[in-house]
Amino acid sequence: MDLRKSVLWTLTIVLCELSALKCDNVVPQAPPTNNYTVTDGNVTCVVMTAGIRLTIPYVTATKNDTVNITIPQNGTTYSGMCSKPDGTNQLNINFLDNWNLTFIFANSSTVDNSYEWQLAILSYIIDSYYFPNATNSGKHNLTLTFPNGTNAAQYNGSYRCDRTQDVPLSNSVTMTMVNLIYRAFGSDNQTDISSSRVSTCLGSHGISPETDLALALAVGIALGSCIVLTVVVYVIASRARGHKNLK
Ligand SMILES: *[C@@H]1O[C@H](CO)[C@@H](O)[C@H](O)[C@H]1NC(C)=O
Ligand SMILES: *[C@@H]1O[C@H](CO)[C@@H](O)[C@H](O)[C@H]1NC(C)=O
Ligand SMILES: *[C@@H]1O[C@H](CO)[C@@H](O)[C@H](O)[C@H]1NC(C)=O
Ligand SMILES: *[C@@H]1O[C@H](CO)[C@@H](O)[C@H](O)[C@H]1NC(C)=O
Ligand SMILES: *[C@@H]1O[C@H](CO)[C@@H](O)[C@H](O)[C@H]1NC(C)=O
Ligand SMILES: *[C@@H]1O[C@H](CO)[C@@H](O)[C@H](O)[C@H]1NC(C)=O
Ligand SMILES: *[C@@H]1O[C@H](CO)[C@@H](O)[C@H](O)[C@H]1NC(C)=O
Ligand SMILES: *[C@@H]1O[C@H](CO)[C@@H](O)[C@H](O)[C@H]1NC(C)=O
Ligand SMILES: *[C@@H]1O[C@H](CO)[C@@H](O)[C@H](O)[C@H]1NC(C)=O
Ligand SMILES: *[C@@H]1O[C@H](CO)[C@@H](O)[C@H](O)[C@H]1NC(C)=O
Ligand SMILES: *[C@@H]1O[C@H](CO)[C@@H](O)[C@H](O)[C@H]1NC(C)=O
Ligand SMILES: *[C@@H]1O[C@H](CO)[C@@H](O)[C@H](O)[C@H]1NC(C)=O
């Protein structure tokens, strides 16, 4: 009887661990968060932190497909300009093979004493390495201009978005950003972002509601099945013992 009991308990634990493992797969992997800075002489004007994933559609002879490209930690470089003639700050992120993502920050025309992230420009290349069997290979440029007054932060202050943000660069290309923090128009060599004068995106709570719900559901289901299983095993075990005791 003791042998059967321990086999059952072992089985329960193994099943619980399996369901917990499955829960890991339910939660999508976030793109790695990278740090970017733009320094010109003795001034660091832009400091930015973000994890970025691009969802890009392409065409093959037999289907319309999409590929997710994450801006990696390895092999990614960045540069930029602090004193452009038009008074903007520019951050260039170079990744993969000649892919470029450019962020342009400008004085806000609608919010006093503030700057805003005004433009995002993506240059990407559809090739057979990242887009197997693509028939629409070649270079593509996409430019997104935000409406005046969006993404604004005060001078000497920063912008933060804690939730996962899907930024449409075109009808079909989406830039997904996590842990976005930036500060532009810095006037000294500081590279840390002050935690005062922080502007946040709509719905920034410190966690992503969608991911959070998915995680909560997955953990809940895993935990729930563990409890049900344990009860079932307990009942079976006590019945078995009960039969034996009656005999
Ligand atoms: C980015 O900067 C933060 C704070 O300085 C640091 O903790 C983190 O390790 C950096 N991340 C990378 C990928 O360098
Ligand atoms: C891909 O999408 C376009 C436009 O929606 C459509 O015209 C075309 O037939 C699709 N191609 C394939 C292979 O499904
Ligand atoms: C791309 O990522 C999204 C989640 O952001 C996921 O739903 C989708 O299945 C992924 N597509 C591919 C081709 O991996
Ligand atoms: C990044 O590069 C380092 C050293 O070159 C290597 O050890 C590490 O495995 C690489 N990471 C990824 C994710 O490729
Ligand atoms: C941006 O605003 C700053 C401070 O208000 C000002 O000194 C600067 O001239 C403005 N730049 C442009 C291009 O308007
Ligand atoms: C992207 O950056 C690379 C490296 O800095 C550069 O050689 C290339 O011309 C850039 N491409 C575009 C389209 O700006
Ligand atoms: C946005 O601001 C710029 C000046 O910074 C101005 O030229 C442009 O007309 C404004 N656009 C709208 C839609 O108000
Ligand atoms: C690309 O096409 C080849 C032959 O046409 C096929 O064997 C292969 O599976 C395709 N690859 C993908 C990722 O669709
Ligand atoms: C994309 O932009 C780069 C730099 O601005 C330019 O050199 C290139 O010709 C553009 N490519 C296309 C396809 O428009
Ligand atoms: C920003 O901070 C620097 C020093 O930290 C100060 O000299 C400057 O006046 C501040 N700018 C604004 C617009 O508050
Ligand atoms: C940066 O260097 C310039 C001259 O190259 C100097 O005039 C300026 O005061 C310096 N700024 C700081 C914050 O050290
Ligand atoms: C930053 O600037 C301050 C004053 O302008 C200077 O004393 C300090 O050495 C600079 N630090 C670095 C790392 O350049």
Q: Is 190 in the pocket of ligand 1 (CB under 6 A)?
A: no
76-90 confidence digits (pLDDT tens): 999 999 989 999 999
Q: Is 65 in the same domain as 7?
A: no
Q: What is the CATH number of the domain that holds 168?
A: 2.40.160.110
In 3D space, the residue among 153, 154, 85, 146 whose CA is nearest the CA of residue 120 turns out to be 146
Quick one: CA dihedral 102, 106, 108, 109, positive or negative?
A: negative
Q: Is 163 in the same domain as 113?
A: yes
Helical H runs in the chain? 2-26, 209-246
Question: What pLDDT is attached to residue 237?
Answer: 73
Q: Is 6 in the same domain as 119?
A: no
Question: What pLDDT is attached to residue 4?
Answer: 72
Question: What pLDDT is attached to residue 15?
Answer: 58
Question: What pLDDT is attached to residue 131?
Answer: 95
Q: Is 217 in the same domain as 188?
A: no
pTM, two decimal places: 0.78
Question: What pLDDT is attached to residue 207?
Answer: 41
Question: What pLDDT is attached to residue 206?
Answer: 44
Question: What pLDDT is attached to residue 208?
Answer: 43
Q: Is 55 in the same domain as 116?
A: yes
How far, in Å, CA of 90 to CA of 217, rounded? Answer: 41
Q: Is 114 in the same domain as 130?
A: yes
Question: What pLDDT is attached to residue 93?
Answer: 98
* Residues in the chain, overall count: 247
How far, in Å, CA of 178 to CA of 105, rounded? Answer: 19
Q: Is 41 in the same domain as 124?
A: yes
Q: Is 35 in the same domain as 152?
A: yes
Q: Is 28 in the pocket of ligand 3 (CB under 6 A)?
A: yes
Residues with C-beta less than 6 Å from any ligand 9 atom:
123, 139, 141
Question: What pLDDT is attached to residue 30?
Answer: 87
Closest Cα to atom 5, ligand 3: which residue?
A: 28
Q: Is 29 in the pocket of ligand 3 (CB under 6 A)?
A: no
Quick one: CA dihedral 145, 147, 153, 155, positive or negative?
A: positive
- Give 43's DSSP letter: E
Range of the domain at 228: 2-24+212-246
Q: Is 163 in the same domain as 229?
A: no
Q: Is 107 in the pocket of ligand 10 (CB under 6 A)?
A: no
Closest Cα to atom 8, ligand 6: which residue?
A: 98
Task: Name the residue of 107, 155, 183 to mutate for ligand 10: max ligand atoms within 8 A of Cβ.
Answer: 155
Q: Is 92 in the same domain as 67?
A: yes
Rounded to a whole number of angstroms, the CA Rg of the chain reads 26
Q: Is 75 in the same domain as 193?
A: yes
Distances (CA, A) of 175 to 40, 53, 113, 187, 199: 28, 6, 28, 29, 21
Give Cβ neighbours of residue 224 (< 8 Å, ≥ 6 apart).
none
How far, in Å, CA of 226 to CA of 247, rounded? Answer: 32
Low-confidence ranges of the chain (pLDDT < 70): 1-3, 5-28, 203-224, 226-227, 229-231, 233-234, 242-247
Could you count the other beta carbons within 10 Å of the beta carbon of residue 83?
11
173-201 confidence digits (pLDDT tens): 999 999 999 999 999 998 988 888 999 98
Question: What pLDDT is attached to residue 235?
Answer: 74
Question: What pLDDT is attached to residue 2?
Answer: 66
How far, in Å, CA of 194 to CA of 35, rounded? Answer: 15
**In the structure encoding, which two tokens stand for residue 131, read together?**
């887009």
How far, in Å, CA of 63 to CA of 130, rounded? Answer: 16
Closest Cα to atom 9, ligand 11: which residue?
A: 42
Question: What pLDDT is attached to residue 13?
Answer: 58
Number of domains in the chain: 2
Question: What pLDDT is attached to residue 10?
Answer: 64
How far, in Å, CA of 193 to CA of 159, rounded? Answer: 10
Question: What pLDDT is attached to residue 240?
Answer: 73
Backbone angles phi, psi at 217, to 5 degrees: -60, -45
Cα 183 to its chain centre, rounded Å, is: 19
Closest Cα to atom 10, ligand 3: which residue?
A: 68
- Give 85's DSSP letter: T
Q: Is 11 in the same domain as 130?
A: no
Ligand 1 centroid to residue 198 C-alpha, Å: 19
